[in-house]
Structure 1
């Protein structure tokens, strides 16, 4: 039977890599699928992995209707076996419900990949609906690490190198420290303390300076 499966993890846990691998594995067995993404850091209509893998995809926007897209494909004589949906945290709850309907009524497997919480530690609406509706939720086994070495569980946003906990929920950035808007994974302890890797280094340097004082 078809399933709606939500693969969840923090940044750097290999979600997009697994999405690409999932599409490859099913296509290699002769299955026909559609690949979707939204707000990928590589640009519109792209799925990119931090390992350097990248491929084209269909860009999801506010007007995307998955039910209609699959219906159009079927009218053209293309039977869809599966959907791969990357960056699913950015989908609307209504779009997640469309995906669930495709699983239940058309027997299409849907593999969704995304993070659960934003930089404020609040659930993304799309992820919340996936947690509510998914047949299975899989936590990715590749553990992203905080700068301290603990397992990273939270996303942090920095603006101009300073961690922020207020602002729009969706702002596309990168993990590069040189970016104006950047993201970093932290353990809960250091997210609560707003201590990024850069802040920790600055604190250590100032502490060393104090120790050197006569």
Structure 2
């Protein structure tokens, strides 16, 4: 029986690298698959890793209907043995339900990769539904590290060097003041303690240089 599997972890833990490796391994054994992603760092319709590897992919937006997409290919004579679905946290709940239906009704393995929570420490809709529906949920074994060296458990967003905990989940250019330059947006993984304190690597460095720094991290 085909399964819906969810590989989860924080940023920088190798999710996209594993997705690429899994796709390679299955293709090397003669299986035929399709690759999907959403808002990849390399741009639309590309699944990439920070190691520099990349493959073409189908871009997932809210209008993509996985069930209809796959059934259309099959009825036109295509072969699909598995799906690799990266950045699954950005999928809608309905799209995740379609992926479960594909595994159950079409006997196609579905491998999803994504992070559980956003920079506000709230679960993404797609990830929440995957937790509810997946046959297996597998945390990635490669642990991302906070700047302090502890295991990173939270994803943080910075704007103009300052950590923020409010705003749109996906930033396109959230600038309220048209006269204000677009903020420099970055992401960083932190342990819970430093996420709670809003202490990024940059702010920790600044604090260490301050004469008023407290005697604890």
Shorter-chain-normalised TM-score: which range?
Answer: over 0.9
Matched residue SS, 1:99: helix
RMSD: 1.7
Moved over 2 A (4+): 207-210
Deviation digits for residues 120-140 of structure 1, max 9, x if unmatched?
A: 000000000000000000000
- After superposing the two structures, state which structure 1 stretch, 22-31 or 139-148, moved more: 22-31
CA distance in 2, matches of 1:101, 1:170: 27
CA distance in 2, matches of 1:31, 1:117: 32
2:15 corresponding residue in structure 1? 15
1:54, distance to aligned residue in structure 2 (A): 1.1
1:161 corresponding residue in structure 2? 161
TM-score using structure 1 length: 0.93
2:127 corresponding residue in structure 1? 127
Corresponding position: 1:145 with 2:145: yes
CA distance in 2, matches of 1:130, 1:207: 48
1:4 corresponding residue in structure 2? 4
2:186 corresponding residue in structure 1? 182
CA distance in 1, matches of 2:190, 2:157: 10
2:180 corresponding residue in structure 1? none
1:198 corresponding residue in structure 2? 202
Q: Classify 1:106/1:205 alpha carbon distance in 2 versus 1 (closer, same or farther; 3 Å).
A: same
Contact 1:10–1:152 under 8 Å retained in 2:
yes
Q: Classify 1:71/1:193 alpha carbon distance in 2 versus 1 (closer, same or farther; 3 Å).
A: same
Q: Size of the alignment, in residue pairs?
A: 206
Matched residue SS, 2:111: strand
TM-score using structure 2 length: 0.92
1:48, distance to aligned residue in structure 2 (A): 1.0
Contact 1:39–1:172 under 8 Å retained in 2:
no
Answer 1 or 2: which has greater helix percent.
Answer: 1
1:88, distance to aligned residue in structure 2 (A): 0.2
Unpaired runs of 5+ residues, structure 2, are: 174-182
1:208, distance to aligned residue in structure 2 (A): 7.7
CA distance in 2, matches of 1:65, 1:32: 20
Unpaired runs of 5+ residues, structure 1, are: 174-178
Q: Give runs of aligned pairs for residues 43-192 of structure 1, distance below 5 A.
A: 43-171=43-171, 180-192=184-196
Matched residue SS, 2:73: helix
